[in-house]
Amino acid sequence: MLTRRLFLTRSAALGCSLAASPLVTPVTMASAPGENRLVVIILRGGLDGLDLLRPYGSPEFAAYRQALVGRDVPGETDLDGFFALHPALSPLMPLWRAGELGFAHAVSTPYRDKRSHFDGQDILEAGTPGLGAESGRDGWLNRLLQTMPGRHADTAYAIGRSHLLLTRGAADVADWSPDAALPLSPQAERLLDMVMHDDPLFRDVTLEAVRLSKTSLGGATEMAEPLDAAGMMEAMRDSMGDAVRKGGLEEIARFAAGRLREDTRIAAYSMTGFDTHANQARGLTRTLKDLAANLLILREELGPVWDRTAVVAMTEFGRTAHANGTGGTDHGTGGAMLFAGGALRGGRVVTDWPGLSEADLYQRRDLMPTRDVRAHAGWILRHLFGTERRAIEEMVFPGVELGADAGLVL
C-alpha cells in the first residue's frame, strides 16, 4: 500500500533528481490588468552585439573582425546598408520586414570596467545603477508588478531551472521549470489523491504540480496499466531524462506562450551560451539559431496574442571590438538589445552610433555605450502597461534617465 511516507521515502532515493520533479521545482510568471504582454529574455554570458548586429558599413569593422566574419558584404541579412544580422538569425528576416523585429545598438547597463558575469547579470536583473546594500536584492520586473493594481501570482511567470533575480521581490510571481514533466495516468492521479487525502496542503500542492506538468506535456500521458509506487518513480526518472535531453528551450517558449494566451501578462526566462572567448563563429552560430527558433515558436504559439506582445532580449554587457587570438572576443561594455513582437515598432535599428575608430571606443577596446538599456526598457513599460514615468525612474529602474522616447511601442 502506497502511503505518503513511503512515497516521500522513495522519492528521496532519487537524490538530486527529485529537485527536478514538479513536486518541488519552481517556475515564474505573472498576470496584470490590460491586454498587453511582455516577455523578457536574459541572454547570459555577454552577447557580442557587434556580431549579433554587424556594422559592416563601418570601415573598421572588417579590420577588427576579419578572423570572425571575413570581408564579405552581407546579402540576405542586410538590414539598412550599414547593419546586417548574423547569418544564424536569417530565419527572423520575415519578422524584420514585417516590422516585428528590431534592435537597439550601443547600449548597456550602468555597469563598467570590472566586466564580471555575476555582477553584470545582477545589475541587469536588479535594474539598479550598481551593486551593494543600496541596490537591494529584488528585480526590476518584480518592482514593476508592485506598481500594477489587480495583479496576482499568475500575472507573471519566471520560467527555467534557476531562480531569476529579475522577478524576485515582494510581488507574487509564479514559477515553472521544463523539468516539471510527470506523466500520470488517471489511475495514478487518483492514487496520489488517496495518499494525500488527509493532508490538504500537501494534496493541493501536489495536484497543482500535476496540472502544471500536464501543461508542459500538452496533456496527460495515457498508460495501459495503473502506476504503483515503483512505477511512479520510474515515470519521474523517464520524464526528467527527457527534459535534460531536450534542453528545455522549446518547452519554455511553448509554455510561456500558453500562459500568455490566458491570464498571464509577463513571462521571463534566460538563455545561456553567449560567453564566446574562443571559436565564436561556431559557438555563437549555434546559440543564435536557438534564439531565432525560440522567437519563432513564441510568434507561432501566441497566435493573435502576438499583436499585443513585446519581447525584449537583454544581456549583461557586450564584447571587445577586436577579435582575440583564439577566434573569439573578450568581455566588453557596449552591446545590443533585441526587441520583437506585434506590439512594437520594429524594422529599424535604434542607436546613437558612436563609431568604431580607436578613439571612439570605450577605453580604446569596447563599443562605447551611448544609451542606458534600462531607458529603452523603461519606455516600453511606460507605453505597454501605462506605468507612470516617475515610478519607472524612481522605483522600477532607480536612477535611470529615460531621455527621449524612441517610440518602440506602436
CA dihedral over 260, 178, 378, 98, signed as positive or negative = negative
Q: What is the pLDDT of residue 174?
A: 85
Q: What is the pLDDT of residue 403?
A: 97
Q: What is the pLDDT of residue 136?
A: 61
pLDDT of 57 higher than 60: yes
Q: What is the pLDDT of residues 186-207, one digit of tens each?
A: 555 566 566 656 666 555 656 5
- Average pLDDT of span 50-75: 88
pLDDT of 7 higher than 70: no
Which one, of 93, 407, 316, lies nearest residue 83 by Cα?
93
CA dihedral over 401, 32, 314, 177, signed as positive or negative = positive
Q: What is the pLDDT of residues 250-263, one digit of tens each?
A: 889 999 999 999 99
Q: Compute the distance between CA of residue 316 and CA of residue 109 in angstroms, rounded to an integer.
A: 7
Give the domains, in start order, of the chain with CATH numbers: 1-25+183-246 (no CATH), 32-178+248-396 (3.40.720)
Q: What is the pLDDT of residue 262?
A: 92
**Which uninterrupted H or E stretch holds 206?**
helix 200-217
Which one, of 4, 37, 8, 13, lies nearest residue 409 by Cα?
37
Q: What is the pLDDT of residue 68?
A: 87
Rounded to the nearest 10 degrees, the angle between the axes of helix 200-217 and helix 249-260 is 110
Which one, of 321, 319, 318, 322, lies nearest residue 330 by Cα?
319
Q: What is the pLDDT of residue 176?
A: 78
The more confident residue out of 153 and 327 is 327
**Which uninterrupted H or E stretch holds 205?**
helix 200-217
- Average pLDDT of span 385-391: 96
Q: What is the pLDDT of residue 187?
A: 55
pLDDT band at 216; cut points 50, 70, 90: very low
Q: What is the pLDDT of residue 12?
A: 40
SS3 for 354? coil
